[in-house]
Structures are given as structure tokens and as C-alpha cells.
Amino acid sequence: MRICIRGGRVVDPSQGLDGPAEIWIKGGQIEAICRAGAPVGGCQRDAQIIEAKDFLIVPGLVDMHVHLRDPGYEYKETILTGAEAAVAGGVTSVACMPNTDPPMDHGAVVEYVLRKAKEAALAKVYPIGAISRGLKGEALSEIGELKASGVVAISDDGRPVTNALVMRRAMEYAKGFGLPVISHCEEPTLSARGSMNEGEVSLELGLRGIPSVAEEAMVARDILLAEWTGCHVHIAHVSTAGSVRLIRDAKRRGVKVTAEVTPHHLVLTHDAVRSWDTDTKVNPPLRSREDVEALQEALRDGTIDVIATDHAPHARVDKEVEYELAAFGISGLETLVGLTLMLVERGVLDLSQWVTKVSLNPARILGIKGGTLTPGSPADLTIIDTNTSWKVDPANFRSKGKNTPFKGWILKGRVVYTLVDGRVVYKAGI
């Protein structure tokens, strides 16, 4: 049976669409989009109708930086709970990082993740393979085998690849296999044992700081290696004004570099750490007001291509300890829409740019389907009530990770439906 979604405002920058339209779905794919007033408009009989009056309809969100923790850390998250959190957050596709146990450094683990994702049958899951065996930064993993088993990129995210020759070789192989290298940029001799941004707040709180240059030194190195090898490098979780300058300059020179920023780095500064809430502890750390402003400007001018959550669920035992001992990470899937629509409300981005950053660009960077509602593409879409506010209560998260510094925040913009391949995989309780 067909599905007809009617009454909503459809924003799809891939086809320059922003306005009232009806969406027709058949066989899991977008069959047609009928703009208001077009002769084919008017939902017919024999269709399941989804009323979307006053709602926003966008291509399903693609979150290219997610930690699903499975296998190995199922007490933090499983592929099922992570996929449930994704669709509750309006995310129809996730790319998951390889820092599992065992890590995704060989085909069998990738196949396991894909099998579990298929069983969950919620969000689409695209594994990211490890750059190095055991994520040790020494020997390369079998990149060809990883590619054959279905990875869409390689990364040692969570850890930097400190050996420049290993990174060079990784880029050379990745280029040959047509995979982007996603770089966690951190120079560990500079960031060593820090737990927050180095600056006036770390000084005041007496916490060891992680300086901006710890990130920027590696961004510079990886841009140079990308230029040298011709490989596409994607810079994960950019957090500093200096990184933005380096990426902007590299793009001008034609280096194949793309970049992402997280919602938390766009809306919080290191001042949040004054609360001593360990849920503000994240790597890279929350930075200064000037950094946040530079990140917002970089999104606007296209220097930063993507908003990705770096969804990093942790258990209470990992966080209910002294600040210095707490695990790094924020559970981000279920606050992505609310936090980033705040940027639209504040005029940092318009809706079409927002869709580009949360759906179209990440799909393009990974070379996966999605990010568009053009006829023939999978009917992955997210329907959002942009007028309703809600209070963040981690107890209501589908994710096992309740670690959010946004608890108690009032966010405007609530996911009401998520469809994957034309199937309603999430519907908000009304």
C-alpha cells in the first residue's frame, strides 16, 4: 500500500525544495513529491495517510559519528538500544565507530554489527573500520577486507594515530579503496591527562587542561598528509577556532578535506564545567566562547560540512566518579534535533543549511544512500513538530547512556515520526 504524507512543509536542499508538498511512498521508496497546487496533489484512496499539518518533513537525518559500544561494552549501549535512540532522535542512518571490543579491525566484527543492525531493523547502520589493528596505531588493519565486509570509512576515533607514517599509509590504502579517513585529531603529548579545555576556567577549577593546539597540531598534520596522498580526510569533532582556520585554508587550496562539529561544541562552552557535572566531560573538551563563535561561523560559511553527535553513551559507573576519573563522552542522539534547531531559531543556520549539515552532506561524504527525497530514493524521512517544546529527561532516553549535560533543558522541536524505507520506525507518544 502507498503512504501519503500530507500537510507538511518539506525542506529538501538536494532538489531546492522548501514549501508545502505531499510525499508519496511506494515499495519503500519515494514515489513522488507533489508540490501544493500541482495537478497530482490530493491523497487518493488506498493510501495510508500520515497527517503532517504544521510539521516539518526532511530527509532522514544521517549521523556519521556514533558509538554503539557493541560488541564488548553492551552495558553502555547495544546495537538495538543505539538504533532505538537513533530513530527516536529522528536519525535514519548512523555510521558507528570501531572502538568496540574486539574493535572493528577485521571483517568478522563488521559482519556481526551488520547482522545485529539488520535484526534491530530500525536505523540503518554503516560501520566504520579501524585504521590500525587493535586501535593501537601501529600496524594497519586489513583495509581491503574491511571494505569488502561493508565499512564506509576508516578511523581510530577515540584515539589519535600518532605515528605519521601509519597515517600516511592508511591514507594511501584508503584512497585506493575509495574510503575516507576520519581523523580524531589529538596530539597526546600536548593533551596528556587533561580533562577539560586549557584556559581560565581550568585554572580556576584546578583541573589539568587540554590546549587547543593539541587538536590543531594534528589537524595541520592530517591536512598535509591528505594533500600529499590525495586521500579524502574527514576531521571529526572540530572544536577550536584554530582548527577552523586550518580547514578553511586547506579547502581554499583544494585539499580533499571535510569536517564535522558536534551539537555540544556548538552550544556549550567550558563554563559548563563549573557545575562539576561529569557529563560535561568530553573529548575534545568544551572550549571557549570565541571557539564556539568560530564553529558557528564555519558551519554557516561551509568550512564545516556536517553536524554529527559523537554519541558516546556511558554507564553511571563510568561517570559517577571524580571529574578527572570520569569517562569522556556525551549521549547525543536524542537531543540532536532540539539542540541544533536552536541554531536555526537563533539565525545561525537556515532550515535548508540545517538539513544539508545533518543529512545531505554526511550521506555524500560516506557515499551512502540518503540525504534526499528525490523520487526513487529510499523513503527515509523525519517529521518534526518545530513548535513544541520538551524538557530533556535522560530517564526517557532509549539510549542506555543517560550521560547528558542537557538534562532539564527545554528544547524546541520534537521528532514525531521517523520512517526508514517507508516504514514507521518511530512515532512519538501523543
At its nearest, how many Å lie between Zn ion and the CB of residue 255?
23
CA distances from 170 to 152, 155, 166, 167, 174 (A): 14, 9, 6, 5, 6
Cβ contact 55:10 at 8 Å: no
Residue number with CB closer to ligand DOR (9 or 314): 314
Quick one: which segment of 46-54, 168-176, 304-312, 360-368 binds Zn ion (CB under 5 A)?
A: 304-312
Quick one: which segment of 143-151, 157-165, 227-235, 342-350 binds Zn ion (CB under 5 A)?
A: 157-165
At its nearest, how many Å lie between Zn ion and the CB of residue 68?
11
Between residue 157 and residue 176, which ones bind ligand DOR under the rule CB under 6 A?
Answer: 157-158
Rounded to 5 degrees, φ, ψ at 415 are: -70, 125
According to the binding rule CB under 6 A, does residue 329 interact with ligand DOR? yes
At its nearest, how many Å lie between ligand DOR and the CB of residue 184?
6
At its nearest, how many Å lie between Zn ion and the CB of residue 158?
6
Between residue 60 and residue 99, which ones bind ligand DOR under the rule CB under 6 A?
Answer: 67, 99
At its nearest, how many Å lie between Zn ion and the CB of residue 312?
6
At its nearest, how many Å lie between ligand DOR and the CB of residue 32?
42
DSSP count for the chain of H helices, then E strands: 14, 19
Measured torsion, CA atoms of residues 403, 106, 80, 281, in degrees rounded to the nearest 10: 0
Judged by CB under 6 A, the number of residues near ligand DOR is 11
Residue number with CB closer to ligand DOR (283 or 359): 283
Q: Which does 280 bind (CB under 5 to 8 A by kind): Zn ion, ligand DOR, none?
A: none
Q: Which does 12 bind (CB under 5 to 8 A by kind): ligand DOR, Zn ion, none?
A: none
* Measured distance CA(265)–CA(292) in Å, rounded: 7
Return the closest-CA partner of residue 385 out of 55, 61, 59, 90: 55
Q: Which does 216 bind (CB under 5 to 8 A by kind): ligand DOR, Zn ion, none?
A: none
Q: Where are the alpha helices (DSSP H) in 89-240?
A: 107-120, 143-149, 164-177, 188-191, 200-205, 212-229
Give me the active site residues, please. 310
Binding mask 173-192 for ligand DOR (x = CB under 6 A): -----------x--------
Cβ contact 308:262 at 8 Å: yes
Contacts of 70 (CB under 8 A, 6+ apart): 77, 78, 79, 82, 100, 113, 116
Which cell numbers in the block locate residue 195?
Answer: 580533562
Q: What is the largest CA-CA distance in the chain?
A: 67
What is the Cα Rg of the chain in Å? 21
Quick one: which segment of 166-174, 292-300, 305-313, 415-423 binds Zn ion (CB under 5 A)?
A: 305-313
According to the binding rule CB under 6 A, does residue 282 interact with ligand DOR? yes
Q: Which of 84, 157, 215, 385 binds Zn ion (CB under 5 A)?
A: 157
* Prior bond of 160 cis (ω within 30°): no
Q: Which of 84, 279, 310, 380 binds Zn ion (CB under 5 A)?
A: 310
Q: Applying CB under 6 A, which residues contact ligand DOR?
A: 67, 99, 157-158, 184, 282-283, 310, 312, 328-329
Q: Applying CB under 5 A, which residues contact Zn ion?
A: 157, 310
